[in-house]
Structure 1
Amino acid sequence: MSYSESVEQAISNIKQQTVLMQRSLNNRKLMDALKFTSTMLTELRNPRLLPKQYYELYIQIFDSLTILSAYLVENHSNGHHLADLYELVQYAGNVVPRLYLMITVGTSYLKIPESPREEILKDMIEMCRGVQNPIRGLFLRYYLSQRTKQLLLPEDDKDSIEFNSQFIITNFIEMNKLWVRLQHQGPLRERDQRTKERKELQILVGSQLVRLSQVVDDNLKLYKIEILPILLEQIVQCRDVVCQEYLYDVICQVFPDEFHLKTLDSLLDTSLQLSTEVSVTKIILTLITRLNGYIERVQQENENRDESNNIFQRFWKHLLKLNEERPDLSIQELSGIILGIMNLSLTWYPDNIENLNRLFSLVAQKCKDFGEEKTSESESFMVDLLTAQKLEVVKDFPIYYFNLITQCESFRTLLTLQSSSSQMEVLTKIIDSFLGRLMGTKQQTRNKDGDKSQLLITSKTQLERFLAVLEPMITHKDTKKENDEGNDTISREFTLSIYQEKLTKICHFLMLSLDKSTFKTIESEIELLLMIKNVFHKGGKNIKFTYPAIITNFWRMIRKCNIYKKRIPKKQIYYDNLIKQNFKYISRCINDMFNNCGKNSVDTIYKLNLQNAALADQLSLVDISYDFFSEAFSVFEESLSDSKTQFQALIYMAQTLQKTRSLYKENYYNSLIVRTTLHGSKLLKKQDQCRAVYICSHLWWATEISSVGEEEGETTDFFREGKRVLECLQRSLRAADSRMDNVESCELMVEILNVCLYYFVHGDEQTTHVGVSYINGLIELIKNNLKSLRLEEEQRLSEIDTTKIDSDNETNTSPYNKYNYVMGLDGTYIKLGNVNNSSSANIDFKVKDMKINDMIQIPIKHFDRTCEYILNQRDIDNRFKTVVI
């Protein structure tokens, strides 16, 4: 009796023999049916079948044998006694058909009440030893397991439970041996193929443990004393990597969580005895996942959990023992276990930071042991460990990070051992979480009392620890900018590093997180702000980015002191002294910026001095305000050498001075505005001189500031000297007239005319000294200059054979006037886009293709717009009727 040559032929033969068997059973010819069945079973003897092919045939045969089994049970009392039949089938010629028939008849006999249950079960499992071929033996014993599935249900009888479990364990052990033996079949070069085939068959072995868990049910004592030790012994003794990983995982999956809690030490000890090639991380994580699922279920069901067993402590001891026995394990090899235990600790004991401190301490020691050798994998793990981004159990990262930073010393130690890039990545994620909380971008969680959880700094120690963690970012140097020789120094220095930007924001976060119940006085807040300042000072040149945030918080303290001073008149002197002291701190910050950063920060220093001067003026601190203005002038005179920067700086100075009020006393204001105007008149470029001086004319003509309650016509103490206003305008006009570029000279004159009209509208000739005669004379001068420009334009147009443009017509007919151009305050030409296009969004500040005729149109159009304004004002103000245009 032979087997088929192919799987298709085998399936066809099985189907054919099944039909013949059914026909014989219908005719009550049992012997013929057994003969056809035996022929069918011969197909399972084919040694060339792959596991998948064997399984396909097995399914077909299993269905056929099920038909035979049903017939045997039904006809047991009708002449086919199963006891006799059980002995008869064992005379079959081939062992595989013989054992399949024996199991089919034997399991059918077990369904009969009077059958000798234990004897038959023992006999069948013993007889299965006759097949030692791995694949055939595995499927044979799997068949035995399937046929006895309904016969080994959980029972109340203790002896029955023990027998059933022992039967399944015995079958499992034999199946496991066969499964492991399969690895050593065939030539060595096919070892990988054998491993693949084994993984395809692993479910057959795992099914025995599933059956065992069903039989044991909730009998913890039986599981702990008799079953688990045997299973773990088999796992250790097989010394097979695939087997050990799979079976350990199955044990963790199929038995209840409560069992694992009671036998945790045995499971952990066994993991240390496995082959060194086994992924300990994988099996431990499986166990941790089960235990975490248990505690979550217990909490949802409001059950009392057993606190007598410290789960973390047991895993911690296991980790230490593993590290001791396997000192060669690298950080990345331990990474999964450490993250898993960390996840377990946060799940079971979310408020216990000491557990995390232990883990970080161990990892820190491993980092020291392995020295500077870091791989991308290990660095990636460190980032995951320090940020806990992959742990879903962390629901509120800001609170988690805050507790780590302020309570976990090993966290800070481990962070300092990482590479600069890893430190920056970790700190960036941590700071982003805090800033998200600060900006309200993340939903606030609620604590047990129902109040929103807050991040409050309750002690100096907490702040010190927080700042200590930030130190790597504070001292971080942007090597990219340092090595970027293609850019000039100024452009590099004005590029704000993303890390320094985050530090400035975290400064505000820290000050807003102070616990007001602990730091009740402004002095205590200032003391903590000074702590932040001192730590930021370690950043060296980086303070040009971070110190402005410190100074901003000092401003906040100053304003707070001013409010308290008004509320508590008795402590006015105290708060006055505190305000002055804050200004001194600010002055030191500015000096530190200059000493550390030099000329690279002069623009920031200049503006900070002006802002401090303005604040002091608002608080009527005249001497302090004057000192800061003086410092600003010193920076201007000693450090600002670029003409464009000087012009912008003077504009900012004029804007700040124009809004001051307390400096009117003791002639401070007058000396400062004179000094500003003189600097403006000494600028390198004539156009800058002109614009700076006519802007400075506003310093002698104060206007109302509505935010402080001033109102034109009601406020009487404005600083106004019309004579000096006129002097500035005249000096500005001289500078414009001396400009050799006739186009720009005309443009400057039109700008001066607009300023004159401003004073003409907001005052009278007696006060401003800017009267109709002066305005008419200026208009006449502009007309004469524009006339020469138009002649020049006509001459150029005639050269290209175009129609002569009448000087009284609109200039838009110029073929050159395709675009609208204007001139900026810095003298640059700006293209606004096509005239026919209403959109002015197309702005080009770098005009390269501009022609002279386009330039000529700029002052002409500007003057036309001014004349149009004068005509419109005649309907409102009769004085404008005397202005000749």
Structure 2
Amino acid sequence: MLPDAEDEEKWLAEGIAGIQHNAFYMHRALDSNDLKDALRYSVQMLSELRTSLLSPHKYYELYMRAFDELRKVEMFFREETARGTISVIELYELVQHAGNILPRLYLLCTVGSVYIKSKEAPAKDVLKDLVEMCRGIQHPIRGLFLRSYLCQISRDKLPDIGSEYEGDANTVNDAIEFVLQNFTEMNKLWVRMQHQGLTREKDKREKERSQVRDLVGKNLHVLSQIEGVDFDIYKETVLPRVLEQVVNCKDDLAQHYLMDCIIQVFPDEYHLQTLETLLSAFPQLQPTVDIKTVLSQLMERLSNYAASSTEVLPEFLQVEAFAKLSNAIGKVIEAQVDMPIVGAITLYVSLLTFTLRVHPDRLDYVDQVLGACVKKLSGKAKLDDSKATKQLIALLSAPLEKYNDIVTALKLPNYPRVMDHLDNGTKKVMAVVIIQSIMKNASNISTADKVEALFELIKGLIKDMDGSQDDEIDEEDFKEEQNSVARLIHMLHNDDPEEMLKLVRHLQAQDGDVIGEEVSATPKKIFQILHQTIEELLSVPSPELALRLYLQCAEAANDCDLEPVAYEFFTQAFVLYEEEVADSKAQVTAIHLIIGTLQRMNVFGVENRDTLTHKATGYSAKLLKKPDQCRAVYACSHLFWVDEQDGIKDGERVLLCLKRALRIANAAQQMANATRGSSGPVILFIEILNKYIYFFEKGNPQITSSVLQGLIELIKTEMQSDSTSDPSADAFLASTLRYIQFQKQKGGVMGEKYEPIKV
């Protein structure tokens, strides 16, 4: 059973106390140049490292205390051999007589460092002897820290190119062999740790193994720092030997960490030129290894390398990096049959990111990645894994972010096939992302084929995909989604009218035309399509919006001088008003929209205009509430007097409208008096007075100064008889009368017209 934290702290304290106690006497011996006692107390001090009671983390603390003391011992050995008290060869032999093997080997490595530095023997021979002797410690923790000490004291004494310890050209291979051998033995010890102890404590052991992994990885870092390790040596010796050890150890923790180490410590250009060799190891790793993370890091490193200089891009093409990476990912996914779907998609996201950065012009590569992902997803139900869905969105978003143009993404046949594997809710999210990309980058969708492809991508926002009931839909979200689709329509454009019409519909030959023959894109055809589109709104239903669109189309037809089309749209608006608009507030809004639109129309002949005006006036007089009736009727007066059109200035019918409005206002007044005992809506009279003033100034002969005077007097009488004061009505009348007084004072033609009026 593994110790608890309290016991470990106690044992660590005892171990440190033992080191300090023996170090004290060792220092006295060192100060006295007493070699015999120095060795005796050094052995006793180092014997504390023989413990098996500590976890790697706590053992490291103990080791560092001993390491600090060994530096002083090494300095003493160097001074003793320099003074000639003892030769380094004799010292090397002497320490091997220490009673216990672990202290003996620590001292041997320490003397070995002095031995190499003295140059009395070739560095390669001493290093070979040390790395072999260290095989004597097979306890995983003790062996790892001993070999870590060997790596530490030897790293500046390797027979490398340019090193003071270089003997000849072949010694670089000896340095490499030493580090590789030490690495191999340390990795074996590290892997063996998983078998120490009870099965139920495996998770704790794996955590402890993670704590010492850097001891093993340090060897690879030393290898990468050897000057003599050029590309050829790396390719022929270093990489194959390291990969062989990684694959053969068959340990998932070691394989993941060491593959990551290889990627991180060696140069990117080496990885690119040995890509096939490096990638061949991945499918051979254990099924439980998190390969996606390591491969993703490799592709990120290569992407950054490609981005560092345009000069290296030809190398990527020369070594066919994309093909090799794509092939390796396929083999890894095939080999790891239990890999979660999120792992496979993550690999494709990384490969796509690599492709977009290194080969952005190769759309075939991009589509190939998407196609491989589709193949992996084929036969599976819609994704219910949130992490996998997130990665799939990342896969779909990457081309949009890179090209800033949905048109490019529309050229990828496999793009919509990937989207098909999203659930309906996520399809909507992705559709909104696509539309936002289009709006942000002002992408122009210019052909019918592109429109068709785009609408296939965003179909989740256009039609019900999952049969959701209305009460299940968030109304605010729904409005935002539909508004985004509406804004998208403005991005469909082509300067060719024929093509512009195709953007809305593929025209078919009709009315005797030969099938397949192009039909002219006339405004009438476009208005027909618009008419059919608006009709679809009635099935939603959304009558108020449909009515508004009918009126907008009528105004557009007016600008195209198409009287029959404009009349038809108005007719449809009236039918819609009669049959579908039932709410009183909606009726008021609709009537004023009708009146305002009809006033701006100039395409109608006398007969059509009279018909429409008569209907609008009739609808106005039939509104539910008297004030609404009054305001709608006096608004209709503008239909009979339009400044821009000489033929529409019928003063008599204007006056009839205004008189009718007065009668309705009077009826409203009487109803108010009967129900509340007050004067009621006097403000309606003031509003009508302002309409009289408007037409008086426009020159309507039926509106005279005496008519205005009479209306002013009527209003004053009504207000005086009002038992309650209405501040807003008082202010409105005062403002109106000030305006008349201002016109009189200003003089001129208008001043003369206003002169007879007494305010």
Q: What interval of TM-score do these two structures reach, taking the shorter chain for normalisation?
A: 0.7 to 0.9
Q: Is 1:180 paired with 2:191?
A: yes
CA deviation vs aligned residue, 1:181-223 (integer Å, no higher than 9, x gap): 2222233343222222211111111111112222364433333
Indicate how the Cα distance of structure 1 residues 717 and 274 shifts in structure 2: closer, same or farther if over 3 A, else same: same
- State the distance in 2 between where 1:29 and 1:495 align: 86
Which residue number corresponds to residue 428 of structure 1?
432
Q: Is 1:875 paired with 2:738?
A: no
- State the distance in 2 between where 1:22 and 1:484 align: 81
Q: CA deviation at 1:883?
A: 2.9
Which residue number corresponds to residue 70 of structure 1?
75
- From 631, 640, 650, the equivalent of 2:591 is 650
Indicate how the Cα distance of structure 1 residues 46 and 755 shifts in structure 2: closer, same or farther if over 3 A, else same: same
Which residue number corresponds to residue 469 of structure 1?
457
- State the distance in 2 between where 1:79 and 1:867 align: 125
CA deviation vs aligned residue, 1:286-316 (integer Å, no higher than 9, x gap): 22222223222343x6685253211111111
CA contact (8 A) 1:245 1:278 kept: yes
Indicate how the Cα distance of structure 1 residues 632 and 195 shifts in structure 2: closer, same or farther if over 3 A, else same: closer
Which residue number corresponds to residue 616 of structure 2?
676
Which residue number corresponds to residue 232 of structure 1?
243
Q: CA deviation at 1:671?
A: 3.9
- From 422, 435, 438, the equivalent of 1:418 is 422
- State the distance in 1 between where 2:148 and 2:118 align: 22
- State the distance in 1 between where 2:189 and 2:478 align: 68
Q: Is 1:530 paired with 2:511?
A: no
The one-letter code of the counterpart of 1:151 is K
The one-letter code of the counterpart of 1:369 is G
- From 144, 149, 154, the equivalent of 1:148 is 154
Which residue number corresponds to residue 279 of structure 1?
290
The one-letter code of the counterpart of 1:674 is H
Which residue number corresponds to residue 615 of structure 1?
556
Which residue number corresponds to residue 772 of structure 1?
705
Q: Give SS of 1:648's match.
A: helix
CA contact (8 A) 2:686 2:732 kept: yes
- State the distance in 1 between where 2:429 and 2:21 align: 69
Indicate how the Cα distance of structure 1 residues 272 and 670 shifts in structure 2: closer, same or farther if over 3 A, else same: same
Q: CA deviation at 1:620?
A: 4.1
CA contact (8 A) 1:315 1:341 kept: yes
- State the distance in 1 between where 2:632 and 2:582 align: 16
Which ranges in structure 2 are unaligned for 5 or more consecutive residues?
A: 1-8, 163-167, 509-518, 674-678
Which residue number corresponds to residue 687 of structure 2?
751
- State the distance in 1 between where 2:708 and 2:428 align: 63
CA deviation vs aligned residue, 1:160-196 (integer Å, no higher than 9, x gap): 1222211221111211121122222233343222222
Q: Give SS of 1:151's match.
A: coil
- State the distance in 2 between where 1:373 and 1:879 align: 80
CA contact (8 A) 2:105 2:134 kept: yes
- From 201, 223, 226, the equivalent of 1:215 is 226
CA deviation vs aligned residue, 1:467-511 (integer Å, no higher than 9, x gap): 3323333224697771269x9xxxx7x996222211222221131
- From 269, 277, 286, the equivalent of 1:258 is 269
Aligned runs of 1:45-444 on 2, under 5 Å?
Answer: 45-76=50-81, 78-155=84-161, 157-215=168-226, 217-299=228-310, 305-372=315-382, 374-388=384-398, 396-399=402-405, 401-406=406-411, 408-438=412-442
Q: CA deviation at 1:346?
A: 1.6
CA contact (8 A) 2:665 2:684 kept: yes
CA deviation vs aligned residue, 1:319-344 (integer Å, no higher than 9, x gap): 22223333443321212221111122
Matched residue count: 724
- From 729, 735, 739, the equivalent of 2:664 is 735
Aligned runs of 1:806-817 on 2, under 5 Å?
Answer: 811=725
Q: Is 1:659 paired with 2:600?
A: yes
- State the distance in 1 between where 2:326 and 2:91 align: 59
- State the distance in 2 between where 1:372 and 1:527 align: 34
The one-letter code of the counterpart of 2:19 is I
Q: Give SS of 2:593's match.
A: helix
Give the fraction of aligned pairs with identical amino acids, expressed as a percent. Answer: 32
- State the distance in 2 between where 1:103 and 1:170 align: 16
- State the distance in 2 between where 1:636 and 1:10 align: 95
Q: Is 1:509 paired with 2:457?
A: no
Q: Give SS of 1:875's match.
A: helix
Between 317-326 and 132-141, the greater mean CA deviation after superposition: 317-326
- State the distance in 1 between where 2:445 and 2:729 align: 61
- State the distance in 2 between where 1:67 and 1:229 align: 39
- State the distance in 1 between where 2:575 and 2:534 align: 15
Which residue number corresponds to residue 797 of structure 1?
none
Indicate how the Cα distance of structure 1 residues 788 and 484 shifts in structure 2: closer, same or farther if over 3 A, else same: farther
Q: CA deviation at 1:590?
A: 2.0
Q: CA deviation at 1:874?
A: 3.6
CA deviation vs aligned residue, 1:410-434 (integer Å, no higher than 9, x gap): 1111112321111111121121111
Indicate how the Cα distance of structure 1 residues 164 and 695 shifts in structure 2: closer, same or farther if over 3 A, else same: same
Q: Give SS of 1:307's match.
A: helix
Indicate how the Cα distance of structure 1 residues 272 and 591 shifts in structure 2: closer, same or farther if over 3 A, else same: closer
Which residue number corresponds to residue 542 of structure 2?
601
Which ranges in structure 1 are unaligned for 5 or more consecutive residues?
A: 439-454, 535-576, 705-715, 794-810, 812-855
- State the distance in 2 between where 1:691 and 1:5 align: 94
- State the distance in 2 between where 1:373 and 1:640 align: 44
Aligned runs of 1:690-839 on 2, under 5 Å?
Answer: 690-704=630-644, 717=646, 719-739=648-668, 740-742=671-673, 743-744=679-680, 746-763=682-699, 767-790=700-723, 793=724, 811=725
Q: Give SS of 1:738's match.
A: helix
Indicate how the Cα distance of structure 1 residues 623 and 589 shifts in structure 2: closer, same or farther if over 3 A, else same: closer
**Cα RMSD after superposing both structures:** 3.1
Indicate how the Cα distance of structure 1 residues 627 and 304 shifts in structure 2: closer, same or farther if over 3 A, else same: closer
What is the TM-score with the length of structure 1 in the denominator?
0.76
Aligned runs of 1:470-485 on 2, under 5 Å?
Answer: 470-476=458-464, 482-483=470-471
The one-letter code of the counterpart of 2:683 is E
Between 621-630 and 44-53, the greater mean CA deviation after superposition: 621-630
CA deviation vs aligned residue, 1:798-824 (integer Å, no higher than 9, x gap): xxxxxxxxxxxxx5xxxxxxxxxxxxx
Q: CA deviation at 1:380?
A: 1.8
CA contact (8 A) 1:610 1:629 kept: yes
Which residue number corresponds to residue 545 of structure 1?
none
Which residue number corresponds to residue 828 of structure 1?
none
The one-letter code of the counterpart of 1:466 is L
Indicate how the Cα distance of structure 1 residues 243 and 655 shifts in structure 2: closer, same or farther if over 3 A, else same: same
Indicate how the Cα distance of structure 1 residues 646 and 56 shifts in structure 2: closer, same or farther if over 3 A, else same: closer
Q: Is 1:500 paired with 2:464?
A: no
CA contact (8 A) 1:73 1:111 kept: no
The one-letter code of the counterpart of 2:655 is L
CA contact (8 A) 1:590 1:605 kept: no
Greater RCO (Cα-Cα under 8 Å, separation 6 or more)? 2
- State the distance in 1 between where 2:39 and 2:125 align: 24
Q: Is 1:43 paired with 2:75?
A: no
